[in-house]
Amino acid sequence: MKKLVLAAIAVAVTAGFVFAGEMKVKLGLDTIGSATFIYKENAGFNYKGDNNFYIDSEVGVGMALEFLFPIFGIVKIGPGVGYSFERGLKLDGSMKLINDSYIGYDSYIDKQSYSFIPTYLTIEVNPIRSAPEVFFKGNIGVNYGTISTKGTTPAWGSFPAKTYSNSEYHLGFYYGFGAGYNFPSGFFLDALYSWNSLYEPEGYMTYSRLAISAGYKFKFSKSVS
């Protein structure tokens, strides 16, 4: 996946030397967010024995790199790649990894967090003639995510209690939409609500978030042969 991301960036940078366009770099806060889980019966990750539920998440940090090329009039389009740093779920004291028929005993989760690397196609539109600085945007692509879990397995029979830690890696889809404002100085602000999904044989989870970001726009001109 890392090679795919690097290849996408390389293609976009190369295109920048051939076509006129812009590169946007941004950093932001992932504010409102939650994870929705849908699992088959007897799957491993069943909080409180439920198969369909959601959990709120903590505030996180994310960043993105986007390349935009004008297609016609008010429309720009190009590739993008993002990274959402590890962000924990707000687990209450009764949250636990439970499936008696699957593992034979309860394993309590102390902390569970997620990080994502979406690679996507982005489109940006400036539809308001009287305010060309205002833009609306949409993203769609694929998502590579990591689920990190730390917990405690209580004593069972002759086996003593112990802590555990593991990470799982999954693929899924990514999409989002939002709006923003371009300042004459090159700085910009945007707000984006997006969904990151991760799939596994037993089911899937979807992580939604509202990201408020600030960044800078670098413009490059078409090369002359």
C-alpha 165/C-alpha 148 separation (Å) is 8
> Which of 8-17, 126-135, 146-155, 214-223 shows the lowest per-residue confidence on average (mean pLDDT)?
8-17
Report pLDDT digits (tens) over 191-215.
999 998 888 777 777 888 899 999 9
Structure pTM?
Answer: 0.77
Mean pLDDT across 22-43: 77
pLDDT value, residue 45: 47
Residue range 129-175, pLDDT digits in tens: 888 899 999 999 999 988 887 777 777 777 777 777 777 788 899 99
User: How do residues 87-102 score in pLDDT, each as one tens digit?
Assistant: 887 776 555 554 444 4
Residue ranges of the domains in the chain? Answer: 2-220
Residues near 174 by beta carbon (within 8 Å), at least 6 away in sequence: 116, 118, 119, 120, 139, 140, 141, 142, 143, 194, 195, 196, 197
CATH architecture of 2-220: Beta Barrel (2.40)
State both tokens at 12. Answer: 């976009």
